[in-house]
Amino acid sequence: MSSFLVILVIIVYLAVIFYVAYWAEKNSKSTWVNNPYVYTLSLAVYCTAWTYYGSVGLAASSGLKFLTIYLGPVIIIPTWILLMRKIIRISKGNKISSLADFISLRYGNNRFLGALVTLVCVLAIVPYISLQLKAISETFNVITDHNIVSSSIINDTTFYIAILLALFAAFFGTQHTDASEKHKGIITAIALESVIKLIFFLIIGVYVTFYLFNGPTDIYEKASILPNFDIHQKINGVEDGFNWFLLSLLSMIAIMLLPRQFQVTVVENEREKYLKKVTWLFPLYLLLFNIFVIFIAWGGNIIFQNDQVDADLFTLMLPLQNGHEFLALLVFLGGFSAAISMVVISTLALSTMLSNNLIIPYGFLGKFSKGESAENTESIKTIRRLAIFILIIVAYFFYRSFTLDRSLVSIGLISFVIIAQLAPSFFGGLFWRRGSSKGAIYGIIIGFFVTVYTLIIPFTIDSQLFSTSFIHEGLFGINLLKPYELFGLQIFEPVPHAFFWSLFFNVIVYILISVNIVGNYRERNFAEMFVDNSKYASLHENAYVWKGEAYVKDIRKVLTRFLGEKRTERALNLFFMKYDIDKKTQFADARLVNFSEKLLTGSIGSASSRILISSVVKEEEISLPEVLNILDETQKAKESNKELQERDKQKDDFLDTVAHELKTPITSIRALSEILLEDDAIEIEIKKKFLKSIVSESERISRLINNILDLEKLSTGKEKLELVENSIKNTIIESVDAVRQLALNNQVYINSEGVQDIKTVYDEDRIQQVIINLLSNAIKFSNKNNGKVYIITVINNNKLEILVEDNGKGIEQNDLNLIFNKFYQAKNQTILKPIGSGLGLAISKQIIKSHNGKIWAENMKPQGARVTFTLPLNTN
Amino acid sequence: MKKILIVDDEPNIVMSLEYIFKKENYMVFIARDGAEAIEIADANLPDIILLDIMMPNVDGYQVLNYLKSSKELNEIKVIFLSAKNKISDIELGLQLGADKYISKPFSTKKLVKEVKELLK
């Protein structure tokens, strides 16, 4: 195929991807961008060019072992619903933007640890990025039929692709200074690429299995007669079982700790509940991706059994060999997608680490502590953009200068082993309080050097330049130091072997140091917060223990340098509101210190933000037991406060409603009075109307106030009832008289024929108040055209029951109990405001209660509502 | 002539605002609840809406959401007029996209000034 055509296709493809990213960034609120599917698909950045080509290569030479890379994730992902949720919660709560930040914060904002993790990640991932570039370049050459890698950079298409990717990552990756913000554009583009690479891989799989061959059985039969077939397709004995186990464990760690995976899974997570979809959808994605790997590998082995074809390129060579160039182009594009997603996300993740955990904390704090917010944010962005370009360019030259003639899989696995060195401090930090920063640092360093000795050096050493005798004879001729068989351990293949020993030393050192050297109080504070996240998350900034002297003014100054005046002001206002602190407070407390550190963490990393904030505050040392004590007390205080708060809240709600109900008439009165005051030429009619309204609104206020006082007296028992024997008939007749005018106005007929003459003991004024309230409610809610209200008395169970019924449309089922609550009507009325304070029924209920009676509401069939109350039958 | 829509379920508040803005030469529309407000806004495309929050059925927040999600109506200026005056209420109102949040009881002079400023 002509290289011009392929380049054109690449350009069009990249344009589409760029456009999708641009669109998603613009429409970042759209459900097309924010959904669990995009999230799950973005996790598939795990499947790189390595999956696309390397899996097939590995399957062709060593059978099913390629599956371990996917088995690990499939095994661990169901636990994510708890495990990853915890990691995500901690990260969101602390505005963590990378793996380095996570580990450094856990071990007490340790600057050196953050930088160390960053270095480990860069060392592990840059060769891996090179590999992706190599895959692009090689497959480009295969498809365009060039046999030699172009000698000069100017003619190398891969170089330009690398530059474009750097531009893409730099543009969409640095829209916000706060790196813990989501990168919606990039993630949506990655999700799209995940779909593309899967579909194209499935197409080629179906093509090989069903077009080139007659289905899986056919391939199996033909492949099984090839030499060495059998040994690859099963696990050979216990030793191989260990290899399988270790490789699965390795990939389990990789799916969580590879910087790009941490980026997409944790940093870019919009909602926790997306994890639910991931638990089944992502394993399904991996399964689909792997279904055809073995068939393509066998197919390649059969067809190319007499040719020298690199098994890594089977996927591409099979269609090319058979003259299906278009299909080959699809495969190329799929592999291209896989490669560039990896490159973009990895450089994004690494650039955040480089800037926030290495460059800024070690080189720019002095400058930032003097600069203005505009320059500072611009500098931060520039650092990240430069980091992205440098990473990609270094990766490019790495691939150009070193003859990377190793298979895709092996270099990928070395990356995995290096990254795995972070596992003890990461998982230890999540579950073990005692894990200390010194333990983490030395563990990582030892583990890294063991990896270098047992894997990287023997694997990469150039036998023409150096003596390689130590590989077979051991260092200084000592047998026990053979890098591939350290201490005589012979059962493992090189990668599981290196993984085993490096992690072994790493864990031992981490544990021994942590147990013997107690970390400082800051570490322990964060250890508690991380390990017991569910307990401390609800305490927010209260979980942070800090003692010392600090001024809000100074902290504000630091914040302003990064966030600008406006955002600082807003953030601080929110903080003061949250903790109900006076805005004019001069002294900052632990909560403000922690809150401010978190505010800056996203922009400059946790270690730097700690250093900057502590440069303006005077901190006192606290002992470890003191930290634990304070945390314990905060926790207890919170629990006992809960009940109190609930009661407070009810009181607050009541006061809020009272205030609202008072303000409403006052609003009318003020507006109308202002008009009357300003407008001298007002017509006399209107003037009268306004004055009338003012009077009636004033009455409304006094009614409300009386009702509130009434209710207060009744519910606290301050009101003494005047309990004497009365005739209920008389009381009802008087009450009906009182509402007669209201009934007439509403054209409602009141029927009191069912009232018997019964005598019992009660406070007549109060019961009359109840009956009037019930009658006027019934009048208001009775049928509009043919309003009828009935009042009836019944003796039931030795109690007097008074029933008030209307023929309106009844009360909503859910409201039947609630209408007796204070102000229920005011909030939930469904008709235009009736006259009333919203307290009538609440007062009635109190009155009936103090008479030892009951009151309730029900609906009648076919229509109407009935309110019933009871009075005990007593005679003096 | 600029069109103003007044949305409140308190007749006396509506009456006073109607008087004030008619005198200021606005074309005044009135709605007694959220549903009515949406209907009138759809039909008459006012320049500005004075919106109460606590109303029966459809409340002020819902009305604002409707306006902001509509292509035709999302340019309409909105002033919340509410007795809810906690900072959190005000922040929420502004976050939802209201142009101003004025607490009740308010000064009518200030209200007129704010309306004029927004319609400049």
Mind giving me the DSSP string for A668-698?
A: HHHHHHHHHHH-TT--HHHHHHHHHHHHHHH
Q: State the average pLDDT over residues A218-239.
A: 71
Widest CA span in chain A: 120
Print the domain residue range for B78: 3-118
Q: Do A668 and B54 touch (CB under 8 A)?
A: no
Orientation of helix A764-781 relative to helix A840-850, angle to 10°:
140
Q: Residue A844's domain is classified under what CATH number?
A: 3.30.565.10
Distance from CA of A784 to the nearest CA of B (A): 20
Q: State the average pLDDT over residues A114-137.
A: 90
Q: State the average pLDDT over residues A673-683.
A: 90
DSSP code string of A195-211: HHHHHHHHHHHHIIIII
How distant is the alpha carbon of residue A741 from its chain centre?
62
Predicted local distance difference test score (pLDDT) of residue A135: 85
Q: Looking at this protein, which amino acid is placed at residue A292?
A: F
A121 and A231 part of one domain? yes
Among candidates B15, B23, B84 on the partner chain, residue whose Cβ is nearest the Cβ of A693: B15
Running DSSP on this structure, what letter comes out for residue A210?
A: I
User: Which residues in chain B are contacts of A670 at CB distance < 8 A?
Assistant: 105-108
A131 and A203 part of one domain? yes
Distance, in Å, from the CA atom of A24 to the CA atom of A544, rounded to the nearest integer, reads: 37
Distance, in Å, from the CA atom of A427 to the CA atom of A435, rounded to the nearest integer, reads: 10
Distance, in Å, from the CA atom of A584 to the CA atom of A616, rounded to the nearest integer, reads: 19
A255 with A76: CB under 8 angstroms?
A: yes
Report how many domains make up chain A.
4
Those residues with Cβ within 8 angstroms of residue A532's Cβ, 6 or more apart along the chain or in another chain = none
Predicted local distance difference test score (pLDDT) of residue A408: 57
Best B6, B7, B8, B13 member to test A by mutation, with max A CBs in 10 Å, is B13
Strand duo A799-806 + A865-872: pairing: antiparallel
In 3D, which of A560, A517, A521 has the Cα closest to residue A544? A521
Distance, in Å, from the CA atom of A435 to the CA atom of A526, rounded to the nearest integer, reads: 11
Q: Is residue A109 assigned to a domain?
A: yes
> For residue range A756-780, what is the model confidence (pLDDT) as tens digits?
999 999 999 899 999 999 998 899 8
A675 with B19: CB under 8 angstroms?
A: yes
Those residues with Cβ within 8 angstroms of residue A189's Cβ, 6 or more apart along the chain or in another chain = A17, A18, A20, A21, A24, A172, A344
Q: State the average pLDDT over residues A509-534.
A: 83
A193 vs A407, residue with greater confidence: A193
User: Which residues in chain A are contacts of B104 at CB distance < 8 A?
Assistant: 663-664, 666-667
Q: Locate tokens 């922009």: which residue?
A: A603
Q: Locate tokens 């050097």: which residue?
A: A449
Running DSSP on this structure, what letter comes out for residue A587?
A: B
> For residue range A453-466, what is the model confidence (pLDDT) as tens digits?
888 877 776 555 55
> For residue range A635-647, what is the model confidence (pLDDT) as tens digits?
777 667 766 777 7
Predicted local distance difference test score (pLDDT) of residue A435: 87
Q: Is residue A546 assigned to a domain?
A: yes
Strand duo A759-762 + A799-806: pairing: unpaired
Distance, in Å, from the CA atom of A852 to the CA atom of A90, rounded to the nearest integer, reads: 54
A756 with A729: CB under 8 angstroms?
A: yes
Distance, in Å, from the CA atom of A136 to the CA atom of A140, rounded to the nearest integer, reads: 6
Contacts 24+ apart (CB under 8 A), A30-37: A32/A188, A33/A184, A33/A187, A33/A188, A34/A184, A34/A270, A34/A271, A35/A274, A36/A271, A36/A273, A36/A274, A36/A276, A36/A277, A36/A278, A36/A281, A37/A191, A37/A277, A37/A281
Predicted local distance difference test score (pLDDT) of residue A467: 60
Q: Locate tokens 């509506």: which residue?
A: B14
A672 and A533 part of one domain? no
Structure tokens at A855: 């009151």
A201 and A90 part of one domain? yes
A483 with A470: CB under 8 angstroms?
A: yes
Those residues with Cβ within 8 angstroms of residue A22's Cβ, 6 or more apart along the chain or in another chain = A172, A185
A63 with A233: CB under 8 angstroms?
A: yes
A594 and A690 part of one domain? no
Strand duo B27-31 + A748-751: pairing: unpaired
Q: Above 60 in pLDDT, residue B24?
A: yes
> For residue range A684-699, what is the model confidence (pLDDT) as tens digits?
999 999 999 999 999 8
Return the minimum-mean-pLDDT range out of A378-387, A582-591, B4-13: A582-591
> Considering only alpha carbons, which residue of chain B is nearest residue A676?
B16
Q: Residue B16's domain is classified under what CATH number?
A: 3.40.50.2300
Distance, in Å, from the CA atom of A562 to the CA atom of A178, rounded to the nearest integer, reads: 10
In chain A, the percentage of residues whose pLDDT exceeds 70 is 90
How distant is the alpha carbon of residue A252 from its chain centre?
21
B77: enclosing H helix or E strand: strand B77-82
Q: Locate tokens 């009832």: which residue?
A: A721
Q: How many other β-carbons are positioned within 10 Å of the β-carbon of residue A481? A: 16
Print the domain residue range for A19: 3-354+382-405
Buried b (16+ CB within 10 A) or exposed e, A554-580: ebbebbbbbbbeeebeebbeebbeeee
Q: Looking at this protein, which amino acid is placed at residue A846?
A: Q
Report how many domains make up chain B.
1
Q: Locate tokens 């409403």: which residue?
A: A664
A805 with A764: CB under 8 angstroms?
A: no
User: Which residues in chain A are contacts of B9 at CB distance < 8 A?
Assistant: 832-833
Distance, in Å, from the CA atom of A312 to the CA atom of A472, rounded to the nearest integer, reads: 28
User: Which residues in chain A are contacts of B52 at CB distance < 8 A?
Assistant: none
At A49 the three-state DSSP class reads helix
User: Which residues in chain B are contacts of A683 at CB distance < 8 A?
Assistant: none
B28: phi then psi, degrees, rounded to nearest 5: -100, 130
Which residues does residue B7 pair with via DSSP β-bridges, in sequence order? B31, B51
Q: Do A670 and B15 touch (CB under 8 A)?
A: no
A224 and A260 part of one domain? yes
Q: Is residue A566 assigned to a domain?
A: yes
Last residue of a domain, one of A405, A420, A437: A405
At B29 the three-state DSSP class reads strand
Distance, in Å, from the CA atom of A779 to the CA atom of A781, rounded to the nearest integer, reads: 6
Distance from CA of B98 to the nearest CA of A (A): 17
Q: Is residue A508 assigned to a domain?
A: no
Predicted local distance difference test score (pLDDT) of residue A388: 92
Distance, in Å, from the CA atom of A38 to the CA atom of A42, rounded to the nearest integer, reads: 6
A825 with A800: CB under 8 angstroms?
A: no
> For residue range A187-204, what is the model confidence (pLDDT) as tens digits?
999 999 999 999 999 999
Q: Above 80 in pLDDT, residue A649?
A: no
Q: Average pLDDT of chain A?
A: 84
Predicted local distance difference test score (pLDDT) of residue A831: 43
In 3D, which of A129, A122, A125, A48 has the Cα closest to residue A395? A129
Q: Above 50 in pLDDT, residue A830?
A: no
Q: How many other β-carbons are positioned within 10 Å of the β-carbon of residue A5? A: 13
The dihedral sign for the CA sequence A354, A356, A357, A362: positive
Q: Above 70 in pLDDT, residue A348?
A: yes
Among candidates A574, A660, A671 on the partner chain, residue whose Cβ is nearest the Cβ of B83: A660
Predicted local distance difference test score (pLDDT) of residue A544: 76
Last residue of a domain, one of A622, A644, A664: A622
Q: Is residue A490 assigned to a domain?
A: no
Which residues does residue A275 pair with via DSSP β-bridges, in sequence order? none
Distance, in Å, from the CA atom of B49 to the CA atom of B42, rounded to the nearest integer, reads: 12
DSSP code string of A806-862: E-SS---TTHHHHTTSTTHHHHH-SSS--SS-S-HHHHHHHHHHHTT--EEEEE-SS
| H helix runs in A579-722, sequence order | 590-604, 606-614, 624-678, 684-716
Predicted local distance difference test score (pLDDT) of residue B55: 82
Among candidates B9, B20, B104 on the partner chain, residue whose Cβ is nearest the Cβ of A675: B20
A398 and A311 part of one domain? yes
Predicted local distance difference test score (pLDDT) of residue A832: 39
Distance, in Å, from the CA atom of A158 to the CA atom of A168, rounded to the nearest integer, reads: 15
Identify residues of A whose CB sits under 8 angstroms from chain B CBs. 573-574, 577, 656, 659-660, 663-672, 674-675, 678-679, 686, 689-690, 693, 696-697, 827-833
Q: State the average pLDDT over residues A622-645.
A: 72
User: Which residues in chain B are contacts of A832 at CB distance < 8 A?
Assistant: 9, 32-33, 56
A756 and A699 part of one domain? no
Those residues with Cβ within 8 angstroms of residue A584's Cβ, 6 or more apart along the chain or in another chain = none
Give A149's pLDDT tier (boundaries 50, 70, 90).
low
A235 and A292 part of one domain? yes
Distance, in Å, from the CA atom of A165 to the CA atom of A13, rounded to the nearest integer, reads: 13
Q: Above 90 in pLDDT, residue A720?
A: no
Among candidates A664, A675, A686 on the partner chain, residue whose Cβ is nearest the Cβ of B104: A664
CA separation, residue A537 to residues A27, A98, A695 (Å): 31, 20, 53
A525 and A537 part of one domain? yes
